[in-house]
Amino acid sequence: MDTSAKRNKSSPPAPDIGRETRLELYRLQLELRYCEKRAYDLFLQNLIKGTSHLSLGQEAIAAAFGVAMRPDDWTFCTYRGHAHTLARGASMEGVLGELMGRQCGLLGGKGGSMHLTDVKKGAMGSYAIIGAHLPVAAGAAWSAQYRGTEQVAVCFFGDGTANIGAFHEALNFAAVWKLPVVYVCENNLYMEYTPISAVTAVEHPAADRAAAYGLPSIIVDGNDADEVYKVAREALNKARAGGGPSLIEAKTYRHSGHSRADPAKYRPEGELEKWLQRDPIVLYRERLLKLGFNEPTLIDMEAEAMRQVDAATATAKASPLPSVDDIEKNVWADGGSAWRN
Amino acid sequence: MDTSAKRNKSSPPAPDIGRETRLELYRLQLELRYCEKRAYDLFLQNLIKGTSHLSLGQEAIAAAFGVAMRPDDWTFCTYRGHAHTLARGASMEGVLGELMGRQCGLLGGKGGSMHLTDVKKGAMGSYAIIGAHLPVAAGAAWSAQYRGTEQVAVCFFGDGTANIGAFHEALNFAAVWKLPVVYVCENNLYMEYTPISAVTAVEHPAADRAAAYGLPSIIVDGNDADEVYKVAREALNKARAGGGPSLIEAKTYRHSGHSRADPAKYRPEGELEKWLQRDPIVLYRERLLKLGFNEPTLIDMEAEAMRQVDAATATAKASPLPSVDDIEKNVWADGGSAWRN
Amino acid sequence: MAELTYRDAVAAGIAQEMTRDENVVFLGEDVAAAGGVFKATVGLLDKFGPRRVRDCPISEQAILGAAMGAAMTGLKPIAEIMFSDFLAVCWDIVANEIAKIRYMTNGQITLPLVIRTANGAGSRFGAQHSQSVENWAMAIPGIKIVAPAFPADVKGLLAAAVRDPDPVLFFEQKSLYSMKGEVPDGEYVDELGKAKVLRAGRDCTIVALAAMVHRALGAADILEKEHGISCTVVDVRSLVPLDTQTILREVVKTGRLVTVEENPRLCGWGAEIASIVADECFWDLDGPIVRITTPHVPLPSADLLEDNAIPSVERVVREIREKID
Amino acid sequence: MAELTYRDAVAAGIAQEMTRDENVVFLGEDVAAAGGVFKATVGLLDKFGPRRVRDCPISEQAILGAAMGAAMTGLKPIAEIMFSDFLAVCWDIVANEIAKIRYMTNGQITLPLVIRTANGAGSRFGAQHSQSVENWAMAIPGIKIVAPAFPADVKGLLAAAVRDPDPVLFFEQKSLYSMKGEVPDGEYVDELGKAKVLRAGRDCTIVALAAMVHRALGAADILEKEHGISCTVVDVRSLVPLDTQTILREVVKTGRLVTVEENPRLCGWGAEIASIVADECFWDLDGPIVRITTPHVPLPSADLLEDNAIPSVERVVREIREKID
Ligand SMILES: Cc1ncc(C[n+]2csc(CCOP(=O)(O)OP(=O)(O)O)c2C)c(N)n1
Ligand SMILES: Cc1ncc(C[n+]2csc(CCOP(=O)(O)OP(=O)(O)O)c2C)c(N)n1
Ligand SMILES: [Mg+2]
Ligand SMILES: [Mg+2]
């Protein structure tokens, strides 16, 4: 973990990561990976319509926060939110079913890939318009602060998002009100197809702006689940203790294109290959072996993740399509959509 | 002038300010002051309807830029824009006439106090929705850059404006495109009635954020016309030379309330008095006398400014009201407002 | 019954609901210490303290985003957007986030929140501070829309809006803030989605909203007394839900519909009502549907120009005399 | 005449105008190097270079603000907003700045600029990427609005928009991007404000826009062949200026009006047209005015749900059969 000079030195050093936690981090990364891969396969089979934005290569971040967060904390994520939603405990069939537009989908087919939500698990929505969910996360944090519940809101977003107005408003607002919210910028080097460096005045779109909100600059290796876990734990503790918001920039890379439609031709030769060598799951597996975890356990875990994905796929495929009547349901709290008498 | 450590040390030191320029700075401050005072009197006589936001106490900034700018440079200002518009050479009867809703008004009564504009003088509009004109100024700067004209866009705004999204977008955009635009934050300590410190995560709403756009932090005494003039000249030269945007924070204070309706009760006792002692015009007069300018010249100048204001008031009062037909004019470039055939 | 101004009825409505429910909170720019630029929220900070009544930076997206996030996690925020024109700077939060989240999540997230805003012309503020934008909001599925014309309705409908489980956009008409009227004492809650027939006539049904209700009433008076034209006046009060039953019933009775809208012409709420009437009670109509609106221009600031742009009592009288016989 | 897709007609129109006028510049997100997320601007960077074709940060307010500032100082920018839903994040610049500045300055500032954006449903993108928001824009005085249904119109109207001295919001319908059609070769410029009668009938006039034009044509075919109902189909093409002469004339001929709108129901452009017709040719109407729209809900994402929300050929046939005899 790399923190700027300004970082608050007085926060307690993160205690070491326990073995159970490490296994949990590995397990979760595997589940996210295999579920995303399945989503990709299902596109190719034309069972998933519409668009979809995968987190392949970025799983360490969602997984580490998933493990570090309290069950009653809240996640706010983007259209690239499959992993973050799963990491809070949403079911794979709920996610895959939603991508396939089935009744068993988390949103019954109403929202699709870009809006995954599972309120019972604290996954408070995926937002598809850049920047909008940053102030929304601040609002949830305000509610926790107001009611004294020590819940924290965690808000994920991309590097490109650090250039939109709502980012600025949310960060200032959260800082002034000292809200328990953790902003996590996943810097994967690209907005859609344009390199972030071509459109940003600073090298680190989030971290280099932390000072503009009186916050320490925090940069972390987003492909190292342990490092992300430590930073997450620290930021969550700070928030819970009334210390206000954090802004974390996690450096990472997406293995696939921006969305389903994107072959990612704009990437310079060799770039993907370089990052594949830093695949967070491969790295983490190596670390666990080095730390003496036994290989068969890891292999079993992998098999179990695949089995789960298969089972969820089967359930989702078997789930019926939504009903046409659903179109006019759930605009209002009464379940309907009437705008007149 | 107080600049942060990061400020580019290699820019040439500002050459000293000539005697003619100093007189010009004084003359312009007087004109702005007396014209604003007249606007205030005309409210009290109910000859000005609607709202109005005075720059009393803040004149040094508008005046210094007015003197430093090239005639073909562009000004973008806010609803608090009487002074900035006059400083570019707009006529007093055009300004007062507009405030009074007369035909001789700069906008023929269509825009009012908050939208003063005089394109022929490079006053490219006053914008009444916080933040909007910052990207617009960037666009004008882009056009100068594109056409190679070495024109500069200067954009004035308040401390409170540094918390809105458009500020962030415009600054990043201008920095990435290296646009010839100078952003001038007039920090008068208050948004409308709320102290800026109560709603801002950093002490200097603009300067403390310059680094977020790769820009040096520049703070200047906004009540010292010479200091503002030097900073202005430097930023304008940098922009003209292709060095990109600047962000300047000028510390100042408004002597009156936010707008016509505001008695400014929220100010702590003694605050106004303290700032009145730093009245930019009083300070500048003292400096001129110390520098050996002769007092009768200054007194003449003052009398001449008053005379101009009187003449403009008379002209504006004598000007007819606009015609009801004007309501449906000038939506489109053809002069009309037809939306159908 | 006490006599209150429209302005004071705002504070009364908010205070009533904040007293009742600890989870009702209020935020906006210059609303706490200063009591709002229209002085509609004076006293709330003293009564409920800085934890529940909060001043915000000039960050409308943050304000409404925060209200949304708070509403989905247990609070019932009332957020002020100072002038309705400024809804444009946070329109994404209103139209794409607040209005859509319940539907997109298939009902997992519900947003009990109120956005209050000062709407409309008459203060010589010019094109960026005078708009009537209730039609912008009406075009967006997922948000309820209220625009009261009387102090009593301000208190009662604001209370109803706070208690409603869905997001409500509450338009306060600037030109009415100093208007006085009887307001029920004690707890008072009205109902969203009910139009009111303020005057019954035979020849023509005038449907109006907010400030235009008063002009319609003024015109109806003159038309009756001076020209023998007898008009029904319906105050719509709530655009969503829309009380089409009352409107259709009253149009059927007179056979004619005139809408009076403060918004510029195109796609105003009157167009929607006209299209409903032209479909559902076409055979009961005795003549063309007439819409009286501000011309389709931004608003000018000079008093003479502004006054002549917004539909006036005289213009309503004139147009009805010309078009209804 | 060459056959072009609707998508390629966009690039052709832009290229034609950029070739003609050095002051025409083009900016947006992912539009240059990548040729746009809908591949509608492929080749422009190669042809005109990075000085005239520019990629922007995700900063819609900056993009449109920059276009505005450039337009008032001599350039003729074409700015892309990737999805029309995102107009909400820069609605202030569109509705309060671009649309109003000419009026507020009494004509001192004129803005020759075009905002292009991908509008509408059909891609299973869900509620935040599928809206038809031409009615949002129609409610704002000061901006012209075009929405072509055919590749030839894309090229010709886009060229007309670029040459127009006023700001134009140009809606490209996502669901039509891959549609092919004949497009005139060489310089081709159409005219704003002209509707087109695509099919003449006797029983009913269907007025439609963009993707709905094709559904109206499909329905008219079936109604004629299978049900003996003969329909006129009018493609509005331009909402502002609105060709009311053509619409009124065609309604008078058939005595009936049906609008087909992709936007949700309330305050759609069809409501405005209905209100004009119900006023100005009331006596020529032989029956109720019918509006066929998407229900007033945000759009669902699943294909089955989306397809059944947007007016389909079948629904147009069914509603016309039920309501027009
Ligand atoms: C306001 C807005 N503008 C543009 C888009 C289109 N868009 C979707 S994703 C994206 C890139 C976002 O980049 P980043 O924030 O880095 O996130 P990443 O996709 O890399 O995870 C863009 C421009 C949008 N959804 N919303
Ligand atoms: C988007 C928006 N929000 C709120 C307002 C209302 N308003 C007008 S001036 C102002 C205060 C601005 O403060 P500052 O930027 O410091 O400028 P000053 O008035 O002090 O010159 C506010 C909140 C507005 N015009 N636009
Ligand atoms: Mg990215
Ligand atoms: Mg200020």
Q: What would the DSSP string read from start to end of D204-255? A: EEEEE-THHHHHHHHHHHHHHHHH---EEEEE--EEETB-HHHHHHHHHHHS
Q: Please list the alpha-helical segments (H only) found in chain A.
A: 19-44, 59-68, 82-87, 92-99, 133-147, 165-176, 225-240, 271-276, 280-290, 295-318
Q: Which residues of A touch C61 (CB under 8 A)?
A: 131-132, 135, 165-166, 169-170
Q: Considering only the beta carbons, identify the residue of D104, D141, D267 that sits closest to C269.
A: D267
Q: Which region among A78-82, B2-6, B250-254, C218-222 has the lowest average model confidence (pLDDT)?
A: B2-6
Give the minimum alpha-carbon distance from A163 to chain B in angstroms, rounded to a whole number.
6
Question: Over pLDDT 90: what percentage of chain B?
Answer: 93
Q: CB–CB of C85 and B192 under 8 A?
A: no
Q: CB–CB of B166 and D68 under 8 A?
A: no
Q: Which token pair is D119? A: 């509008």
Centre of ligand 1 from the C-alpha of residue D37, in Å: 11
- The DSSP secondary structure of B310-323, one letter per residue, reads HHHHHHHHHSPPPP
| pLDDT score, position B12 | 44
Average pLDDT, chain C: 98
Whether B10 is in a domain gets the answer: no
Q: Closest residue (by CA) to atom 12 of ligand 1?
A: A191
- Residues A116 and A51: beta-carbon distance below 8 Å: no
| pLDDT score, position D230 | 98
Kindly state whether D109 is in contact with chain B, defined as any CB-CB distance less than 8 angstroms. Answer: yes
Phi, psi of C119 (to 5 degrees): -120, 150
| pLDDT score, position C8 | 98
* Partner D, chain B 151-190, Cβ-Cβ below 8 Å: 151, 153, 165-166, 169-170, 172-173, 176-177
> Which amino acid is it at D21?
D
Q: CB–CB of C266 and D139 under 8 A?
A: yes
The alpha carbon dihedral of C81, C83, C85, C86 has a sign of negative
> Which amino acid is it at D148?
P
Q: What single-letter DSSP state applies at residue C289? A: -
In this structure, the number of other CB atoms found within 10 A of the CB of residue D21 comes to 14
State the Cα–Cα distance between residues B169 and B156, nearest whole angstrom. Answer: 16
Three-state secondary-structure class, residue D73: coil
How far from the centroid of its chain's Cα atoms is residue A318's Cα?
28
State the Cα–Cα distance between residues D7 and B48, nearest whole angstrom. Answer: 53
Q: Mean of the pLDDT values across residues C315-324?
A: 96
| pLDDT score, position B50 | 87
Q: Is D60 in the pocket of ligand 1 (CB under 6 A)?
A: yes
Q: Mean of the pLDDT values across residues A325-333?
A: 98
Kindly state whether C281 is in contact with chain A, defined as any CB-CB distance less than 8 angstroms. Answer: no
Question: Over pLDDT 70: what percentage of chain B?
Answer: 96
State the Cα–Cα distance between residues A332 and B22, nearest whole angstrom. Answer: 66
In testing the pocket of ligand 1, which one of A191, A196, A266, A267 has its CB within 8 Å of the most ligand atoms?
A191
| pLDDT score, position B5 | 37
Whether A215 is in a domain gets the answer: yes
| pLDDT score, position A15 | 61
State the Cα–Cα distance between residues D266 and C271, nearest whole angstrom. Answer: 9
Helix (H) or strand (E) run with residue D286 in it: none
Q: CB–CB of A212 and B201 under 8 A?
A: yes
pLDDT digits (tens, 9 = 90+) for A185-204: 999 999 999 999 999 999 99
Phi, psi of A112 (to 5 degrees): 85, -175
Assess whether pLDDT exceeds 50 at residue A154. yes
> Which amino acid is it at D181?
G
- Residues C303 and C124: beta-carbon distance below 8 Å: yes
- The DSSP secondary structure of A81-128, one letter per residue, reads -HHHHHHTT--HHHHHHHHTT-TTSTTTTSS-GGG--BGGGTEEEEE-
CATH number at residue A183: 3.40.50.970
Assess whether pLDDT exceeds 80 at residue D62. yes
Centre of ligand 2 from the C-alpha of residue B130, in Å: 5
Q: Which residues of A touch D302 (CB under 8 A)?
A: 49, 101-102, 105, 109-110, 112, 321-322
Looking at the DSSP bridge assignments, the partners of residue A246 are A182
ipTM over 0.90: yes
Q: Mean of the pLDDT values across residues A91-120?
A: 98
Centre of ligand 4 from the C-alpha of residue B152, in Å: 24
For an interface test with A, which of D55, D58, D63 has the most A Cβ atoms less than 10 Å from its Cβ? D58
Assess whether pLDDT exceeds 60 at residue A10. no
Looking at the DSSP bridge assignments, the partners of residue D171 are D117
Beta-carbon pairs below 8 A across chains B and D: 164
Whether A332 is in a domain gets the answer: no
Edge to edge, the sheet with strand D53-55 lists: D53-55, D24-28, D76-83, D114-119, D168-173, D144-146, D238-240
State the Cα–Cα distance between residues A184 and A61, nearest whole angstrom. Answer: 9
Q: Is C58 in the pocket of ligand 2 (CB under 6 A)?
A: yes
Taking the CA of C80 as reference, the closest ligand is 2
* Mutual angle of helices B19-44 and B59-68, in 10-degree steps: 130
- Residues A250 and A205: beta-carbon distance below 8 Å: no
Q: Which residues of A touch B171 (CB under 8 A)?
A: 201
Q: Is A161 in the pocket of ligand 1 (CB under 6 A)?
A: yes
Rg (CA), chain D: 19
Phi, psi of B219 (to 5 degrees): -120, 135
Q: Is B102 exposed, middle or buried (0-12, 13-18, 19+ CB in 10 A)?
A: buried
Centre of ligand 4 from the C-alpha of residue B260, in Å: 15
Any residues with CB less than 8 A from the CB of A23 and at least 6 apart, and which? Answer: A288, A293, A297, A301
Q: Is A80 in the pocket of ligand 1 (CB under 6 A)?
A: yes
State the Cα–Cα distance between residues D314 and A147, nearest whole angstrom. Answer: 53
State the Cα–Cα distance between residues C109 and C167, nearest whole angstrom. Answer: 12
Which chain C residue has its CA at the smallest distance from B53's CA? C125
* Partner C, chain A 313-332, Cβ-Cβ below 8 Å: 326, 329-332
Phi, psi of A252 (to 5 degrees): -155, -165
- The structural domains of chain D, with segments of one domain joined by +, span 2-183, 196-324
Q: Is B199 in the pocket of ligand 2 (CB under 6 A)?
A: no
- The DSSP secondary structure of C127-154, one letter per residue, reads TTS----HHHHHTSTT-EEE--SSHHHH
Q: Mean of the pLDDT values across residues B188-213?
A: 97
Q: CB–CB of A112 and D302 under 8 A?
A: yes
Phi, psi of B75 (to 5 degrees): -110, 135
Closest of D106, C37, D59 to residue A196, by C-alpha: D59
- The DSSP secondary structure of C159-225, one letter per residue, reads HHHHHSSS-EEEEEEGGGTT-EEEE--SS----TT--EEEE--SSEEEEE-THHHHHHHHHHHHHHH
Answer whether C2-183 and C196-324 agree in fold.
Answer: yes
pLDDT digits (tens, 9 = 90+) for C179-206: 999 999 999 999 999 999 999 999 999 9
Q: According to the per-residue pLDDT averaged within each range, which of A3-12, A255-264, D224-233 is highest?
A: D224-233
Rg (CA), chain C: 19
Structure confidence at residue B7 as a pLDDT band (50, 70, 90): very low
Q: How would CATH label the architecture of D196-324?
A: 3-Layer(aba) Sandwich (3.40)
The CA angle B27-B31-B34, to the nearest 5 degrees, is 135
Q: Closest residue (by CA) to atom 18 of ligand 2?
A: B158
Q: Which of D129, D214, D227, D296 is catalytic?
A: D129
Centre of ligand 3 from the C-alpha of residue C116, in Å: 36
Q: CB–CB of D278 and C277 under 8 A?
A: yes
Whole-prediction pTM: 0.97
State the Cα–Cα distance between residues C6 and D235, nearest whole angstrom. Answer: 47
Fold of D2-183: Rossmann fold (3.40.50)
Q: Considering only the beta carbons, identify the residue of C29, C265, C308 that sits closest to B327.
A: C308
The half-sphere exposure of C127 on its side-chain side, counting CA atoms within 13 A, is 32
State the closest ligand 2 atom to the C-alpha of B53, by its place in the atom list counted from 1: 19
Q: Is B128 in the pocket of ligand 2 (CB under 6 A)?
A: yes
Kindly state whether C278 is in contact with chain D, defined as any CB-CB distance less than 8 angstroms. Answer: yes
pLDDT digits (tens, 9 = 90+) for B84-124: 999 999 999 999 999 999 999 999 999 999 999 999 999 99
- Residues A125 and C90: beta-carbon distance below 8 Å: no
State the Cα–Cα distance between residues B220 and B225, nearest whole angstrom. Answer: 10
Q: CB–CB of A118 and C142 under 8 A?
A: no
Q: Mean of the pLDDT values across residues D177-189?
A: 97
Assess whether pLDDT exceeds 50 at residue A124. yes
Helix (H) or strand (E) run with residue C67 in it: helix C60-71
Q: Considering only the beta carbons, identify the residue of D51, D62, D110 that sits closest to B135.
A: D62
Q: What single-letter DSSP state applies at residue A204? A: S
Q: Please list the alpha-helical segments (H only) found in chain B.
A: 19-44, 59-68, 82-87, 92-99, 133-147, 165-176, 225-240, 271-276, 280-290, 295-318
Q: Considering only the beta carbons, identify the residue of C125, C298, C304 that sits closest to B50.
A: C125
State the closest ligand 1 atom to the C-alpha of A258, by its place in the atom list counted from 1: 19
pLDDT digits (tens, 9 = 90+) for A232-280: 999 999 999 999 999 999 999 999 999 988 999 999 999 999 999 999 9
Closest of C92, C103, C214 to residue C151, by C-alpha: C214
- Number of domains chain B is built from: 1
pLDDT digits (tens, 9 = 90+) for C98-132: 999 999 999 999 999 999 999 999 999 999 999 99
Any residues with CB less than 8 A from the CB of C182 and at least 6 apart, and which? Answer: C1, C2, C3, C151, C152
In this structure, the number of other CB atoms found within 10 A of the CB of residue B242 comes to 11
Taking the CA of D57 as reference, the closest ligand is 1
Q: CB–CB of B202 and A214 under 8 A?
A: yes
Q: Is C227 one of the catalytic residues?
A: no
In testing the pocket of ligand 2, which one of B192, B193, B194 has its CB within 8 Å of the most ligand atoms?
B192
Q: Which residues of A touch C141 (CB under 8 A)?
A: 331, 337, 339
Q: CB–CB of A212 and B214 under 8 A?
A: no
Q: Which token pair is D283? A: 């006596």
Three-state secondary-structure class, residue B184: strand
Q: Is A190 in the pocket of ligand 1 (CB under 6 A)?
A: yes
| pLDDT score, position B15 | 61
Q: Which residues of A touch B164 (CB under 8 A)?
A: 165, 168-169
Kindly state whether D153 is in contact with chain A, defined as any CB-CB distance less than 8 angstroms. Answer: no
Edge to edge, the sheet with strand B181-187 lists: B2-3, B218-221, B246-251, B181-187, B153-158, B74-78, B123-127
Q: Which token pair is D129? A: 């990427």
Q: Is D170 in the pocket of ligand 1 (CB under 6 A)?
A: no
Assess whether pLDDT exceeds 90 at residue A157. yes
- Which chains would you list as touching D if contact means 3+ CB atom pairs under 8 Å? A, B, C
- Residues D221 and D181: beta-carbon distance below 8 Å: no
Which chain C residue has its CA at the smallest distance from B327's CA? C305
Q: What single-letter DSSP state applies at residue C38? A: T
Give the structural domain span for B145.
Answer: 19-316
Structure confidence at residue C1 as a pLDDT band (50, 70, 90): confident
The alpha carbon dihedral of C238, C242, C243, C247 has a sign of positive
Average pLDDT, chain B: 95
Q: Is B253 in the pocket of ligand 2 (CB under 6 A)?
A: no
